[in-house]
Amino acid sequence: MSTKIVRRTIPLIITFIVGMLMIGEWFFNVASIDQVAESVRQWGVLVSAFAMGLGSVNIVIRNLRRIEKREGTDWLYAIWLLIVFFGFVGIGVGMGSASSQYQYIYNTILQPLSGTMYPATLFFLCSAIYRTFRIRSYQALLFVATGAVILVANAPVVAATFPLLVATKAWIMDVELTAAYRAILIGIGLGTIMLGFRVIFGLEQTHLGREEGD
């Protein structure tokens, strides 16, 4: 079968059919469309689960290759990754994710590490604010002043002590911020609709790679 048919034509046909089907299911009261769309939705759930499985296999293969090459010190981390990976998989599949053993390794390994990484955002955010929020122009002054008001008013002790600051923050959030985000939301919504149009009707093909001769 020609490469072009496999890499372009078939994916475009599938995209068109599924896209129109899901749009039809959303807008029209036609029982047969609903039934087919329900099946497609279930396939979507299955494909997502398969993607996770694919990713797991991908991780294992890549790290095995890293161990095989033994370049630098990365291969040592790859060994550790595979140990933890198969440990979690083995205990989870063998004893169940609700078992006390799985709970134990989750609570002692993953939970503290995840719990550390997310709040680490705070420190990077602080240094980013300190480094980049400079009043270089009138627009920057508005930017910094607005950010400062919200930053301070978010502190409960300040909010309780200075109600005016809270009212200012509420006005900024309810009026300015809401208006700006609504505008961006509308733009994103229209952009997504047009991207959908381009993808469904085959105008957008960059995700399929270049054609021969490009």
Partner 1 sequence: MTSEDNTIWDKLQTIPREVLYLLMIISMIIPLLSPLGLPIPISPQTRTLYDSLDTLQPGDVFVQFVDYSAGSMSFHEPGFIAITYKAVNKGAKLVMLSSSVEGPMMYEIVINKIKPFLDSAGYVYGEDYVYLGYTAGEETALAAIASNIRSVYTTDQYGTPLDDITLMQSVNNHEDFTMLISYTMGSPESFVRQFNTQYGVTTHIHCGEMMTPTILPFWASGQITGLLNGGVGAAEMEVLVGRPGDAVKLTDVYSFSNLIVFAFLIIGNIGFIMKGRMKE
Partner 2 sequence: MGIIADGKIVDFTFLFLIWAVAALYIWVIGGDKFNIRRMVAIDAIEEAVGRAVEMGRAVIMNIGGGGLLRGEYAPASMAGLTVLGYCAGITAKLDAELLCPMYSSGGVETIPVATELIRDAYMAEGTLDRFNPEEMIPFLPVQASVMAMADRVRPAANIMVGYYWHESCIWAEAFGRVGAIQVGGTTNLYQIPFFAGACDYVLIGEEIYPVSAYISKDPRLIATIAAQDTFKWISLLLLILGALLVTAGNTWLSNLLMN
Q: Using CB under 8 A, which of 3, 73, 156, 214 touches partner 2? A: 214
Radius of gyration of the chain (CA): 26
Residue 41 or 198 having the CB closest to partner 1: 41
Q: Using CB under 8 A, which of 1, 31, 52, 164 touches partner 2? A: 52
Residue 82 half-sphere exposure toward CB, CA atoms < 13 A: 16
Q: Using CB under 8 A, which of 2, 73, 118, 138 touches partner 2? A: 118
CA nearest 19: which of 209, 211, 192, 190?
A: 192
Query: Which residues within the stretch 144-203 sit at the binding site for partner 2 (CB under 8 A)?
Result: 181, 184-188, 190-199, 203
Residue 205: strand, helix, or coil: coil
Q: How many residues bind partner 1 (CB under 8 A)?
A: 55
121 φ, ψ (degrees, to nearest 5): -55, -35
- How far is Cα 116 from Cα 113, in angstroms, rounded to an integer? 5
Going 148 to 151 to 152 to 154, the CA torsion angle's sign is positive
Question: Which listed option, partner 1, partner 2, none, makes contact with residue 94 (CB within 5 to 8 Å by class)?
Answer: none
Residues that bind partner 1 (CB under 8 A): 38, 41-42, 44-45, 48-49, 52, 97-98, 103, 106-107, 110-115, 117-119, 122-123, 125-127, 129-131, 133-136, 144, 147-148, 151-152, 154-160, 166, 170, 173-174, 177-178, 181-182, 185
